[in-house]
Structure 1
């Protein structure tokens, strides 16, 4: 087993996660810890004010019967009240259980029953009705608190007579080994399982990120670092971002939606200095920037600037790893020429102040990473799971290798098993699955977590992911193929939104492909053609030729046995609402294969 470790950056955490709120308020009461959007204006919230609000809500929770060790579900989009509830629950030793706001009634019933939740925080009337529809099967559920009906203020008023000392007594009983949250996996391969994550898990990973990437996070010209939290707080990556921001004194704002049409204006208004995001965001930004340039008659300029950005970043990458001298004088001049015309405008999409981003959740193409770095925003790709409390690897500051997911975080180890599976070890690794001892034993072995992902480690300890162990396709000829990299290459084409490669027990690989409706409309306009709905465009010969070119370009990087021989364009994108995506936007392969079984059969007919 080949392995690589990074030494720990500091001592082990002490106490519970809520302690950071009270410690920060004691040391820097006037530090702006959060910004809340009130009537279109970002209102500052100091460390002292946040502590007081956490304390008030914690007193109210005690009044309503929430006790040390109780589980309380939170079902909501990302908003500041979620953060408030997290820290109030942690202050009394209770355990938040995140639930995605899009969860179906059966999923809600399963999670609340398995965790024995005593209460559930919901966002609106629809979610309250979802929980209400299944509460007959939940005898331990005694309360449903609705954010849009002012439950925070009501709980705080109820607890006005509770002494602060009672909250502190509960809080000081929390240790790093205490359970902090039960977070359910995305369920790409079956029913989601609840991961048991401790206060020490979250604190250790957050502190490793803050220590290892401090120079990047605080590279703000003397201003306080700020980040807009738009990842779902029901997902471990969003949760870790929240914990790291509070522990690091980073100002955070909240935004509820990942959709680019609402997210990009919010980023422009908030103007973060540092972000945690998923590759989807950068794919959308790049596509829209290209489309805007083409619409303005400046596509050739954009493509030239894109090539220069990639060359520039690749030259700096070689210099960082001592395999090259860095950008030549001529390349420096060309790069400088495009700064105002192109790169500055790309950065403005994220508010103009972002210089670095940590991303994970799916693959970010190497070329895309090089482009954004050349445009002045380095995207540090990382890798982690719910079971590892989010990142366990990330590209290090100033020395990224684009196309990899970086090296182990401080205090963590990564190994490659004989069959190519990635194994990880570190302080973020969970203690097991709730009520699933057999699955816990399968995942954990002498401190190692078997991730189910396939990968390779280079001589410098950088990890490259090659696919999922359970997603390996075995063709009828016995050829084993991991589809993830090929799918990513097809998706690099601006028209293509999603690609799912199929071929298990078949003679060759084929693909189901969905189109980006905005990109399609732009593509038609650029050719002087009238608009078409996606469904109408599926039979268009010119469009088929364009997609065929994208598939052919991807096929040039693999052998014939690994190439896509046929594809089918689908009338709409895979969606969360149809159950074809996980809440973190990963494709549910089995669900898609079942939904489009007839299309797959036609791909192999004859």
Structure 2
């Protein structure tokens, strides 16, 4: 499907696009006035070129590694392409990283310069700079770094920059991305320009309806996931290479995100399942507040049945939605489905989901509501997606088929192995870890999965997360946790039980959902300590646990649970930046609560 790249690097597209169609709207930028302003291909090229000159003037050289510690904003993409233009290697650092995490990444990568967003980040780097003798430069975006660098390089001739750019080849290192790491120190995944070229080329060609949308409608996407994560970074690069209007939003909270979705009006978005769950639950709370919960729930059932009928037809297993179902579906279009789409800006027709599993029912609901969510699967080591659901035959509840050019193999122990041109070349400075996962060209992912008769992959768990009770029963916690988390009052769930007599769970609550639930019962708000002791609330969570237990045998079921007063957060070291649970850290932090479950 996608031809392997043979020449050049990622930055070439910026200059080629400006030459081919200088007036094309390449990006949207939110100005100080709060309004979105369009940026053409030529304007973006000029800013990339000016910044590249400044980097050269300040001593950045071909092959140097430069850290980027910043939220999802325009300057990240600008620095990415400017650094690639001069043959340097951006090294992402999560903006929430601790001083020790920053030190480890900058030290291990041998970073010579660092770009930070604001003063707090600068102070974090400054606190460890005495242990980083190779670090020579520090630029702060909010202190005018782009203008400062552009001015510093104004005297450099364009041709000097282009000589650097032409020296970049597909096998040149594009970036070193450190895995967020649920355990141990992060490892630096070395990804080449060819890795990104293959991945983005394949995505743009195979998922053509996403990137080219309807006739007369310009495709656009608003990035709000961290650009320090490979998923957001890859789609950001694909947007530039695929001539999709790209916008950035650094705040994931609904109060900031929803107005920008409405103003920017993307045609597709990428998100983790948590975002889709929040959109769904917020829509239902709004309906319940208007006294229309029954109508909303009926609309959900109709959407799911409608999407199931479409899915069956795509696989040759049915005729599609019946006339009666189509009438019901049309009835709820303006009442419910249009409102859900409007919450995402009004133009969204496609979405991509990754990072963890999206429930089949939730995926079907969005499909029935007019937004096709393509769930996929991949790792930093595979430059994001290795599998994804194809546009014409989406099978909800799976992570799809191997992307063209990629092979998936299930090992004897159920581990998922991947092979393809997007697989990384190894971990920086860690041949032992590299040898542990790269085996004769195959990447051993550490994830467990199965392939159905049509080749669709389902992820069933992670090898390191399998619990073994004291009775010898192996339990994969992911499915149980996802089912408990699907309850609107639940924010997070972690299943425990390793070397214990039975399986139990710790549950955190969605504060907004609980406040709404109390209001609908005409009850006063409760402080968090009181929530965990409220018998009615406990009964609601018990229902979620009982429902989850229908998925498994009695030996694997959750026997008891405890509600916690506060959610697991990244700030407290209990979540990775991509919102995955740090199991060992959580069990250590809540050791007393876990012991009490078995008391």
Task: State the TM-score, normalized to the length of structure 2.
Answer: 0.99
Is the aligned partner of 1:40 residue 2:31? no
Is the aligned partner of 1:476 residue 2:470? yes
Is the aligned partner of 1:377 residue 2:361? no
Is the aligned partner of 1:414 residue 2:408? yes
Shift of 1:373: 0.4
Equivalent residue, structure 2, for 1:4:
none
- The farther-off stretch of 68-77 and 221-230 is 221-230
Equivalent residue, structure 1, for 2:5:
12
| 1:487-502 equivalence runs, <5 A | 487-502=481-496
Equivalent residue, structure 2, for 1:219:
213
Q: Distance in 1 between matches of 2:312 and 2:130?
A: 62
Deviations 1:78-132 (A, max 9, x none): 1101111000100000000000111100011111111111110011111111111
Deviations 1:162-208 (A, max 9, x none): 01111110111111100000100011122110000000001110110
Equivalent residue, structure 2, for 1:598:
592
Q: Distance in 2 between matches of 1:376 and 1:477?
A: 47
Q: 1:289 aligns with which of 277, 283, 290?
A: 283
Is the aligned partner of 1:368 residue 2:346? no
Is the aligned partner of 1:569 residue 2:563? yes
Is the aligned partner of 1:548 residue 2:542? yes
Whether the 8 Å contact between 2:86 and 2:164 is mirrored in structure 1 is: yes
Equivalent residue, structure 2, for 1:279:
273
Is the aligned partner of 1:25 residue 2:13? no
Q: Which runs of 4+ in 1 moved over 3 A?
A: none
Q: Distance in 2 between matches of 1:9 and 1:92?
A: 27
Shift of 1:13: 4.8
Shift of 1:248: 0.3
Whether the 8 Å contact between 2:4 and 2:198 is mirrored in structure 1 is: no
Q: Distance in 1 between matches of 2:92 and 2:397?
A: 32
Whether the 8 Å contact between 1:13 and 1:204 is mirrored in structure 2 is: no
Q: Distance in 1 between matches of 2:339 and 2:231?
A: 28
Counterpart secondary structure, 2:460: strand
Deviations 1:12-53 (A, max 9, x none): 353100001011111111101001001111111110111111
Q: Distance in 2 between matches of 1:475 and 1:191?
A: 28
Deviations 1:426-460 (A, max 9, x none): 11100000111000001101111000000000111
Equivalent residue, structure 2, for 1:176:
170
Is the aligned partner of 1:165 residue 2:170? no
Whether the 8 Å contact between 1:318 and 1:324 is mirrored in structure 2 is: yes
Equivalent residue, structure 1, for 2:388:
394
RMSD after superposition: 0.8
Counterpart secondary structure, 2:167: coil
Equivalent residue, structure 1, for 2:225:
231
Q: Distance in 1 between matches of 2:514 and 2:428?
A: 45
Equivalent residue, structure 1, for 2:238:
244
Q: Distance in 2 between matches of 1:367 and 1:44?
A: 38
Shift of 1:528: 1.3
Counterpart secondary structure, 2:55: helix
Q: 2:92 aligns with which of 74, 91, 98?
A: 98
Whether the 8 Å contact between 1:538 and 1:569 is mirrored in structure 2 is: yes
Shift of 1:274: 1.0
Q: 2:136 aligns with which of 142, 148, 156?
A: 142
Which structure 2 residue ranges, 5 or more long, are not aligned? none
Deviations 1:485-527 (A, max 9, x none): 1100001100000000000011110000000000000111111
Q: Distance in 1 between matches of 2:339 and 2:95?
A: 34
Structure of higher RCO (CA pairs closer than 8 Å, 6+ residues apart): 1
| 1:53-452 equivalence runs, <5 A | 53-452=47-446
Whether the 8 Å contact between 1:453 and 1:469 is mirrored in structure 2 is: yes
Q: 2:581 aligns with which of 582, 587, 595?
A: 587
Equivalent residue, structure 2, for 1:5:
none
Task: State the TM-score, normalized to the length of structure 1.
Answer: 0.98
How many pairs does the alignment contain? 598
Q: Distance in 1 between matches of 2:29 and 2:109?
A: 31
Which structure 1 residue ranges, 5 or more long, are not aligned? 1-7
Shift of 1:242: 1.1
Whether the 8 Å contact between 2:2 and 2:198 is mirrored in structure 1 is: no
Shift of 1:54: 0.5
Whether the 8 Å contact between 1:217 and 1:356 is mirrored in structure 2 is: no
Q: Distance in 2 between matches of 1:484 and 1:261?
A: 30
Shift of 1:217: 2.5
Q: Distance in 2 between matches of 1:47 and 1:139?
A: 38
Whether the 8 Å contact between 1:515 and 1:534 is mirrored in structure 2 is: no
